[in-house]
Each structure stands twice: as C-alpha cells, then as structure tokens.
Structure 1
Amino acid sequence: MKNTAKPESATLPLQDVQIQDTFWSSYMDLVHQVVIPYQWDALNDRIPDAEPSYAIHNFRIAAGVEQGSYGGLVFQDSDLAKWLEAVAYRLATHPDPALEEIADETIQFIIQAQQKDGYINTYFTVKEPDKRWTNLHDCHELYCAGHMMEAAVAYYEATGKRAFLHAMCRFADYIDTVFGPDEGKIHGYDGHQEIELALVKLYRVTGEQRYLRLSQYFIDARGQQPNFFIEEWEQRGRTSHWVPGEFKPDPQYNQSHLPVREQSTAVGHAVRAVYMYSAMADLARLTGDQALAEACRRLWNNVTKRQMYITGGIGSTRIGEAFSLDWNLPNERVYGETCASIGLIFFAHRMLQLEQKAEYADVLERALYNNVIGSMSEDGKHYFYVNPLEVWPDACAKDPELPHVKPVRQKWFGCSCCPPNVARILASLGTYIYTVNNDTIYTHLFVGNKAKVHMNGLDVLLKQETDSPWNGNIRITVTPERAAAFRLALRVPGWCKEQPTLRINGQAHTTLQVVDGYCLIDRPWQPGDVVEWVLAMEVQFIAAHPFMRANAGKVAIQRGPFVYALEEVDHAAPLASLSINPTQLLTARRDASLPGEPIVLEGILHQEASAHALSEDEPYHVFGTTSAPTLMPLRAVPYFMWGNRNPGEMAVWIRTNHNDY
C-alpha cells in the first residue's frame, strides 16, 4: 500500500508531543491505568450493576468463535472502535506490549468478522444479514464503518501494523462500489455523519484519491434530495428501527434539509452536525473549496455565538439530542451531550487548520476544560452522558421532563458512545496543542510538553513549561537544530482581558504584534532561546446576552479556562435562593482538601431569609414582608469537578442582587 499523499504540515504527529504537565499528566496516567482497562471490562460486560455493552460478545459471534444472539443497540460496534482508537493514541506515546497484545487479539476478531466483500457490521452480519443498506436513516452502518476506519488509521500510525488498516481499506473499497452518483449505486448517505471525516483520514495515510472523492460525495449529496430518507422510509413500508408505527423522518434531524453549502443555522442532532462540519472543514482545506469554507464559518458562528453553553456544551434539547433555536439554552433541561462537545472540539481543530484564528482555540479550550473532562469522574469509572448547568436531584428523579439529567455519573450506558469518546480525545490531547503553517508554529493550548516540529526542512524542539490552567505563566524553550528565522505564534486567550507580558531571553517586549488573536514573534532563533508568556488570569463575572432568557439577571463565574459552579455540599439548599453581588472581589486559593488541589473561589452570597424562615404551608407571601437576606460564604469549584462529592444541587448561573452590574 503506497502512500502518495502529500505530507500534512498542519498537525504534529502524536508521537512527537510528549505531555509533561502538572494538570494533564494525571489525566494521561488515568486514561492508561484506569480508563482503558475499565472500559475494556465494560465492553466485555464485566462491570457489576452496569448496563451490558455486548460489543465484544457481538464480534466474537460474527467472527464465528462464539455462539449466541446479537445484543445491544444497532451501533454497538462503534464503542469498541473508539476504545481501540484510544488505545492506539496511548500506544503512540507510551508503548505497552500487554495492552498492544489485547488490541491485536481484538482486531483479529474484527478481521475474522469481515465478510468476503469487505463488509463489517456485527448487527447486520449476525441479526439481519439480508437488510444491509435498507435503513440508512436509523441504523448507523456508515457511522460504525467510519469509527472503525478512524481506529485503524490511529493503530497503523501508532504501531506500523497494517492488518487493521488493510481490512478497513477493503471495507472502504466495498462502500465505494455501493454509494455514489453512478447508475446502479445508492444515491444517498448515512443518517449519522462520521464516515465523511473518517475517509479523509484514510486518504491521508494511504494517498488513495477514491477515499477523498467518496467523502466529497457524501458531503455533496446530503441535502440535494431532502426527501431521501423519506423515500427510503416509504420503501421500507413506513417502518422505523426505533419507533413503532409511522414515524416520518425529519430531514433537519440529520442536516439533510438543504445542501450543506446553503446551510447557515445549526439544526438537528448536535453530534451528527458537528461531525459533518468537521468533515466539511477538512474538505474545504484539502480541496480549496471556498463555498464549503464559507459554510463552515457561518455554521461555526451560529453554533458558538447563538447555541453554545458557557461550558462548551451544545445541543439544548433531549428531543433528538438536538439544537433547538438561537438563544434557547435552558440550564436544568439542557442536553449538552459529551459527544457533542467532543465533536465541537473536532470542528474547532479543523477550523484552526483551515485558518489560524484564536476564537477556534478558545472554544476548543472551553469545551475541553469544562464539559469534556467534567463528564468523567475523578476515578475514571463513572460518566455523564448529559452535562447540565443546574441540578435539583429530586426533580431529576421525579420530573418527567428531566429523565435524561443525572445528579451522579453512571458506571456505563446501554448507549455508551460518550465514555470511549472521552478516552480517545484525552489520549490524543497532544495533537491539539500546536499546528504548523509554512514557517509559523502556532501554540493553541498551554500544556506542559516536549515537542519536535519539522518545518521546511528544519527540526525545532519545543519545551513548554507552565502552571496553567491554574495560573497564566508559560515558558517555552525553543531549540532549532541550527540558528534559523521563523515565526512563533502564541495565542492570546479570549479570557485574558489585559495585554500579556512577553519576555524573550529575559528582555521585555511591550509592543506586541497580535493578528487574529495570536501574538506573532518573528526573529532569528538560536538554540535554547527562552520565551516567557504571562497571561493575566483574573476572576470574571460573566453575564449572558439578554436574548438568553434562562440567564436573565444572573451571572456565571469564570477564571482562566474554567467555569465555576456552586454545589449544595458547600452551601445551603435551595441554591436558587442564593444571590451574589458581582462587584465584589472574590478570593482565589488552592484547596488542598480537593483532589489535584484546584483553585476554588471564595466570597459572599446572600440567601433569602424566606428560604427557611417561612412555613412550607405558606407557598406565597407579600414581597418585602420577610426579614432581610442573610450572608453566607461562597465557595465555588471548577465546573469539571462537580458531582464528585456528596450528591446534591448544583448551579452555574447565580442570581444577582446588585442592579448596576
């Protein structure tokens, strides 16, 4: 298999970035020592009192080494694929022969399950072999294929082993005979986007143009026939895999209502949307398609400026796990699926490769430091599928509108798309720190690491040392193999409202050249040059746009990349009775009583006296007839840490008691 693709210069190979960071190294170790083994047990149905996965069970049956019937949801293969991808990323930076052996054995089951024509899907192999490609709207065949392709690419790049990659190329070759504009092929696409971005990765490592063209076909075809899924539904006799009776597909649900280049507003299932936008950005960069690039910009602006939570969550409604409408961002009914934030990170990362603007890295950082790591417990064994901004546990248990919101993380899910997705993005964190564009090295994230950059025939070693994310001191040692002139671009985060301090070899530079949110440093570099980049990290009270009705008269607290939350364990319930004066100065201090010694924020809250002074038999009272509010201490913790102590209420947005903020 000859690789004729042009070498990609935008991202650094994962092997070339070794994370050594006071914050993130513990996550890297947790992924290796706990998350990957725990999820392996879950995929093998060995977690007591957790919903079974059936993923390994299904592949063993499809491979002919075990008897039984198919278990789980129709897309169960994808959980295993994402786990293998996480394993591959970890092996790329930390070789582990025992883990690699487990992965090799698992891959062998997958290859044994592959049909003679190249097809791989345990549901349709084991349960409905005569129904291939008859329900693209519901059954995720190409979605599962895409995740397997991503895993195969990652495993090949990590280990150099080709068996898995070869199997996925066979699968892609077969799919290319089934789908496309030619007569006799299916003129359609999957109900859940994923194959599109996976084919781009397959193209990148093989240089096979057919894979790039097939990805383009799936993107270009979507929305050209808005009734494609309706016609497919009619041909099936108006049946659905999920819903009994006549359930007519809605083209908006999977973004097939318009050709993608005409779309301006994010609609439908949030994960599907951002996976598709990621592929669109990939194709815009690789093909120079300006109409596609402009559509990406429009959709980016709508998602991040109208439909994104302050924590980087997207998808506000549980109905369809979907976007709803601009500014509709309820806190207690939020969906904010973990996979959607991960997909948003994918989209942001690809937009950074398309054009270097700090706003993309700002959103990437926001989603990563809040929603994504907040979805996993400190022990690495429990997960949120939904990431709320306000929790009342009694309502979660009894309100029929809130069955999706959990006050505690779960061991596993019947639909466990999120946990292995978290594993793979954390294991691949090194790829998100830098990108290279011609003679410029862009630093997007401030994470301690050692990196090797190959740029225009020059090798440059970078050593980034930082006490970020708790404080804003960054030190980068730049060591080119020989003296050379090039540009280093340092991100000015959106949360940094003061001009950063820049020193090079101890000399202060007061005039900064900032373009699109990056400070550009052009100079002849000598081996061992030291750049110090100091970012002001002040506590900020954040107010929402007035159109965001759920947050009228409220503020959230932010410091650096972290959004903060109040928990009942630190305050008296109900949290809704608390208010804050946002003109006060909050104290930031390290708290040794919490894991990792995070910075907590302390100050003063007001609690309505009526919260506990009134009789429960007096639901209403005349305003002003109770005693004055009482003062109580504020103790806000980073949002990602909530739910790791005693279960209870949680709130991100707090009512204000000061009219002039």
Structure 2
Amino acid sequence: MQVKLNDQFWQPKVQQTVHETIPYQWKALNDEIEGAEPSHAIENFRITAGEKTGTFYGMVFQDSDVAKWIEAAAYSLRQFPNPQLEEAIDAVIDLMGRAQQPDGYLNTYYSVAEPEQRWKDFTFGHELYCAGHLIEAAVAYYESTRKRDFLDIMCRYADYIDRIMGPDSDKMHVYCGHEEIELALVKLYRTTNEQRYLNLSQYFVEERGKQPSFLKEEPGFGGPAKDRWFDLDYHQAHAPVREQETAEGHSVRAVYLYASMADLAIAYGDTTLIEALRKLWEHITSKRMYITGGIGSQGHAERFTIDYDLPNDTAYTETCASIGLVMLAFRMLQIEQDSRYGDVMERALYNGVLSGMSLDGTHYFYVNPLEVHPAVAHYRYDMKHVKTERVPWFGCACCPPNIARLLTSLDKYFFTQNGAEIAMHLYASNESTFDVEGRQITLRTETHYPWDGKIQVVLQTDEPTESTLSFRIPSWCRHPHITVNGELLELDAIVKRGYAQISKRWMNNDEIKLYFPMVVERIESNPKVHENAGKIALQYGPLVYCLEEVDNGSDLTDISLPVDSEFIAEYREDVLDGIVVLSGGGQRSDLSWKDELYRPVKREKMSVPISAVPYAFWGNRKPGEMAVWIREK
C-alpha cells in the first residue's frame, strides 16, 4: 500500500511539519530557541558518551524527546528526502552508539545522574518507556532509509532487557509504570521477525495488574503526596488487563496500554484481549471523552476521574492523550471494521490533536481546555503546563515531537487493506496504490474535506479486478449519498457497521462519488455532564467550533443562542489561513450594568452577531477568552 496525500488541508500541515517544525524542534533539543525552556536532551547524550563534562538536565524521560523527533524526521524522509536532515540523524545515532553501555543499556539519566538506581524505579523511572520510544525511532529510520546502525543499537538494548526481564524464575518480574515499550517491541518484532521481542511485549502486558504488585514496594509509589490519585489504577496495574472494564488512571498510559493490547490481539489472534478492548473503548467514548476527542479530564495525575466528569475550563486533555486515542482507534479498525473507531479517530485528529500546535508549527499546547479565561487562569488553576497561549517549548516536552511524528506518518491512517477489501477511513485528496491479488489498483481521491463533504474517487487499473471498496459513513452525516458511475446506490443494502461496502468487478476509470452533506449542527451532552447543562456546542462536519474573544468580545459565557437562530457556514480565505467560519445571531446582557455585583433580574437582552471558528485553530490570533459550550436560550 502506498498513500500519497495531496490535499489542501492535511498535506500543507505535513509539509510545514517537515520544513518548519522538525528543524525548529531540532533547535529546541539543542537549546537554540531564544525564550524557550531549555531541553539539554542532545547535550545529555554527549555527557553520557563522555564527550562533554556536566550534569544531566531535564526530566527523567528526556531521552524520549530525541527519540520522537528522530521518528518524526524518519517518517518525513519517505516523501521528502533531505540529505542534510539524514546526516543530522546519523550523527545523533552515532552519538547514541557511543553513549550505549557495554551490556546494551542506553539511558542518559540513569547513566549520568543516578547510575546506582538503574532498574530500581519502575513506578516513575521511565527506563522502559524511553527504551520503547528509542526502539520505535530505530524502526522508523530503518524503514525509511534501510540503514541498520540505529536498529542494531536498539536490538542490543532489547536483547539486554530480554535477558534480565521476563517470566523465567531468574529474571525480574516487572513492567514499566508508563506503558510504551509494549508497542515498540511489536514493531521491532515485525521488522526483525525475532519472536522473542513479541513474546517480551506479551509478557509485559500479561504481567501488568497481577497482585500483589511489586510497584507498591517501591519508594516512589503513590507520588510525592502518596495520594489516591497515584494508586495502582494510575498505572493501569490494579487488575490484569482482561479484567479491566473501565478506563482508569493516567490517560496517556492507558491508551498506550490499550494500543499494545490491540497489537498483541492482532499478532496472536487473541479474542479475549479484543473483548476487553471493546469494553474499554465503549467506556472511554461514552462516558469519559470530550466532544473534541480529548481524554483525561484532571490535571492532578493527568488522569481519568469518574464517569461524566468533563469540566471545560479545567479540562486537562493532554495532546499526547488524543494522539494515543488516534493510535488506539486505528488499531481497532485493523481488528474490526466499525465506524465507531473511525469516527473517534477523525474527531480526535481534527480537534484534540491539531489544537496542540500553532498554525506556524512552532508553538504548542500541552493542555487543551474547552473554555479559557486568561485573566483568572493563573489564580484559579493549580495545574502544571496550563497555558492560555501556546508556548515555544516545555520542560516536559513530550507533546511537541509526538504531534510531529503523527503528522509525518499520517498517510498510514487513511486506509486498511484485508485481502481484496480496501477500506477508506479518513477523507482527503490523495493518490493511493494497492496490490489486490497480484493486480494493481490506484484510487485517486479529490475533495475539499473537511470544508466540504463532496468526495470523488476515480479507480485506475490495467485489468478488471474483483474487490470490495469500503467507505466510512461519518456519524455526523444525516443524509449520505453514494453513486458508482452515476448510479445511486441503495445504502441500506450495503452499509455494515457504518461502512458502505461496494463489491464489484472494477474497471479502469470507474468513478465513485460520496456526498456527505455538511450542515451546522447543535450538539448537546448527556445531562450527567453537569458543566454543560443548558448549553450546546456547534459542529460542522468533523469539526467542533468555538467562540473566541477576538471575534465576539469578552465575557463569552454571557452569550446565549436563541433556539431558532440559524448559522451560516462560509469559507473565508482571510481568516486563519482559510477556514469555514460559522456566523449567526446571539444575545448578551444589556448595557445597563454599572458597578453593582448583584441586582434584581432584568429580562432585557441585546442581539449581537456571533462568529465561531474551528476549535483546533483557536489561539492563533490574539490572546483572549475561548469557549466551546454556549448557553442556549
């Protein structure tokens, strides 16, 4: 399968990531961004290799920032060859080789800052987590360049881990407090065909949650305050994975675990893991997910709390968590073709992920709230990383390179293929080629999605080919239409679990037209989400919209929408590099307020024009208030 994006929405973002974001992040990792929090990540490797003197600086997992940057850069090389970038990556890989210990161990923090504590803090030490990201980077670089140096370095590290950890009686019976290596080992297995890597991934997943837990014996367990939010469920270690029916704990850890469970379910054909994943998926998406595809509502411990606890102004919704949800959704689509996975993947991509990076690709959100009051945020919220404006870098910089690696690998998320069946999950202009039983099929897709729901697919093949082409019917679309060579299809007869499955003997230049009418729709939430009582959100196609102070003035929470007011969707080239803006009428309190704090109720309201922009694009003009949920009058 070869997918080449050439659309007006995603491809410019991918190109920007390649040409602007990746070079910018390289400078950040080398502490060359003025005004940004220092990283010192590359310097840590130089110190570890003995080529510089100094002390370790940064988070215990600082190595993972470099790993994710390499992974993003490696993916970019597939479509945008860059000898200078490749040379820079090779230099870092050489540095890592010199920093690697004789036994295969590679970690700058525990080599420099606390060598005597190696493998003694699985709760928060992140050693296996960093190893996982380095492995993923090595696999990506090998796939893109066929160079083996980095892969060999990480195979030595993985072999060392396999020698000392696992089910055998003479090995450590452990797992990482932050899941990640489980995903990486599956990728390493697929690249090398070494079964021991897949077995080790399976061991880490199967061992998690067994009681009594070794984590409780570690000094760092429970966090600095030893409070309940950092108990075993924070690490998804409160029960064996097949017995976990609710999404608990640190949200990024959780979805990384679930994604690795999906990988193992695919590799081993494990239906028990699939059944557990279905329950966890249903719980996340029906009770603990924001309308933007954000997850993890609480800042303290960056975690899930209880069902329907989805506050807007204190929403944590870490960018990495939405990225993890996309990763999980795509793996669930590989297990079973069901539009509920594709719908959430699309929701998270267009809203919860994109909001994490500025339009210029060089400023970032770690936290993605759904309501912002800059004047009070500093006093009201006691949460790290909470910013009302995107910043150039973070001391804990997990999110920026994570966005970069997702965007440069985005082409992998559009299709899946199972034999002669090709399924399209996301929509953008692209040219994609598939091998169907020895015959080549090329699909050329043209669309202005997500601004327009018209999609044209033209099939090219040298000879007639029997195949099933499946297209996701978005859950937001109320009246879809599909034609093949001008003939309207009866969707009731061919739609299965949200996908229109069109089976036929395809000929050269056959044409499929999908029409998903986009209208401005008001969305309400379950009444158990108390913060949203009496409020609605605006959605247009896959995009969730918000109000910004720059368009609507301050005190956005005072705005209400009459139930009969209508909104017009208009594409505006002059706003935020070209977007669809929603315009309508609302109401605000009258202007008779003076200095009084309270007064008897007056019913007078004044009519005001309202303008809404996609949530993912907020904060790219002037600092100010923002709100997704709006009172309905």
Range class of TM-score, shorter chain: over 0.9
Specify the code of the residue in structure 2 equivalent to 1:568: E
Q: Secondary structure at the match of 2:66?
A: helix
Partner residue, 2:215: 229
Say if 2:606 is the partner of 1:630: yes
SS in 2 for 1:569: helix
Q: How far apart are residue 364 of structure 1 and its match?
A: 0.5
Conserved? CA contact 1:333–1:401, under 8 Å: no
**Is residue 438 of structure 2 the alignment partner of residue 460 of structure 1?**
no
RMSD: 1.6
- 2:314 alignment partner, one of 320, 330, 333: 333
Give the conservation status (yes or no) of the 8 Å contact 2:319–2:365. Answer: yes
Question: Residues of 1 paired with 2:597 and 2:386: CA distance?
Answer: 26
Give the counterpart letter for 1:461 in structure 2: T
- Residue of structure 2 in register with 1:8 after alignment: none
- CA shift for structure 1 position 416: 0.3
Query: 8 Å contact 1:382–1:411 — kept in the other structure?
Result: yes
On the 8 A contact 1:436/1:455 being kept in 2, the answer is no
Does the 8 Å contact 1:396/1:403 carry over to 2? no
Secondary structure of the structure 2 residue equivalent to 1:138? coil
- Partner residue of 1:573 out of 554, 559, 583: 554
Unaligned runs of 5+ in 2: none
Separation of aligned partners in 2, 1:649 and 1:355: 41
Matched with 1:508 is 488
Aligned twin of 1:46: 32
Equivalent residue for 2:122, pick from 136, 150, 157: 136
In structure 1, what is the Cα distance between the partners aligned to 2:563 and 2:473?
25
Q: Is 1:470 matched up with 2:456?
A: no
For the residues of structure 2 that align with 1:90 and 1:563, how far apart are their CA atoms? Answer: 29
> What is the deviation of 1:90?
0.4
Matches within 5 A, 1:581-592: 581-592=562-573
Aligned pair 1:180/2:166, yes or no? yes
Distance 2:209 2:302 in 1: 20
Distance 1:476 1:26 in 2: 21
Do 2:300 and 2:383's aligned partners in 1 also have CA atoms closer than 8 Å?
A: no
Pairing 1:484-503 to 2, within 5 Å after superposition: 484-498=465-479, 500-503=480-483
SS in 2 for 1:229: helix
Residue identity matched to 1:422: I
1:267 and 2:243 aligned: no
Q: Equivalent residue for 1:619?
A: 597
Deviates more, 1:274-283 or 1:399-408: 399-408
Partner of 1:7: none
The answer to whether the aligner puts 1:651 opposite 2:627 as a matched pair is yes
- Counterparts of 1:247 and 1:177 in 2: how far apart (Å)? 34
Match of 1:482 in 2: 463
The structural deviation recorded for 1:98 is: 1.2
Given that 1:555 and 1:582 are in contact with CA atoms closer than 8 Å, whether structure 2 keeps it comes out as: no
1:627 to partner: Cα distance: 5.2
1:351 matched to which residue of 2?
Answer: 332
Please give the per-residue CA displacement for 1:87-130, whole angstroms capped at 9, x wherever unaligned.
01100122111111111111111111111111110111112222
TM-score relative to the length of structure 1: 0.93
Aligned partners of 2:576 and 2:617 also within 8 Å: no
Matches within 5 A, 1:181-196: 181-196=167-182
- Separation in 1, partners of 2:376, 2:322: 25
* Native 8 Å contact 2:222 2:230 kept in 1: no
Contact 1:505 1:531 in 2 (8 A): yes
SS in 1 for 2:158: helix
Aligned residue identity for 1:613: S
AA at the equivalent of 2:582? L
1:166 offset after TM fit, Å? 1.1
2:21 is matched with: 35
Identity %: 49
Residue in structure 1 matched with residue 376 of structure 2 by the alignment:
395
Is 1:601 paired with 2:582?
yes
How far does residue 239 in structure 1 lie from its aligned partner after superposition? 4.8
Partners of 1:123 and 1:643 lie apart in 2 by 35
CA separation in 2, counterparts of 1:449 and 1:387?
Answer: 30
Alignment check: 8 A CA contact 1:321 1:337 kept: yes
Classify 1:249/1:547 alpha carbon distance in 2 versus 1 (closer, same or farther; 3 Å).
closer
In structure 1, C-alpha distance between the alignment counterparts of 2:225 and 2:467, rounded to whole Å: 62
Give 1:218's aligned residue: 204
Alpha carbons of structure 1 residues 51 and 242: separation in structure 2 relative to 1, 3 Å: farther
Rounded Cα–Cα distance in structure 1 between residues aligned with 2:312 and 2:149: 47
SS at match of 2:124: helix
Structure-1 separation of matches of 2:290 and 2:468: 34
Change (3 A) 1:266 1:241: closer
Deviations 1:214-245 (A, max 9, x none): 000000000012532112x1xxxx35797389
Q: d(CA) in 2 for partners of 1:175 and 1:530?
A: 52
CA shift for structure 1 position 464: 1.2
Tell me the residue number matched to 1:78.
64
Residue 581 of structure 1 deviates from its aligned partner by 2.0
Residue 51 of structure 1: SS of its match in structure 2? coil
1:455/1:578 Cα in 2 relative to 1: closer, same or farther (>3 Å)? same
1:226-305 superposed matches below 5 A: 226-231=212-217, 233=218, 238-239=219-220, 243=224, 250-305=231-286
Separation of aligned partners in 2, 1:653 and 1:532: 34
Secondary structure of the residue that 1:633 maps to in structure 2?
strand
Q: Deviations over 1:409-468 (max 9, x none)?
A: 011000000000000000001000000012110000001111111233222111111110
- Give the number of aligned pairs: 632
Deviations 1:379-405 (A, max 9, x none): 111000000000000111222445643
Query: Amino acid of the residue matched to residue 607 of structure 2?
Result: L
Q: Is the 8 A contact 2:255 2:325 kept in 1?
A: yes
Kindly report which structure 2 residues correspond to 1:133-212, keeping only aligned pairs within 5 A, or say none: 133-212=119-198
Distance 1:557 1:590 in 2: 16
Unaligned runs of 5+ in 1: 1-11
Aligned residue in 1 for 2:424: 443
Is the contact between residue 556 and residue 627 of structure 2 (CA under 8 Å) also seen in structure 1? Answer: yes
Residues of 1 paired with 2:129 and 2:119: CA distance? 12
Instruction: Name the SS of the counterpart of 1:70 in structure 2.
Output: coil
Q: Distance in 2 between matches of 1:388 and 1:246?
A: 25
Deviation of 1:308 after TM superposition, in Å, equals 0.3
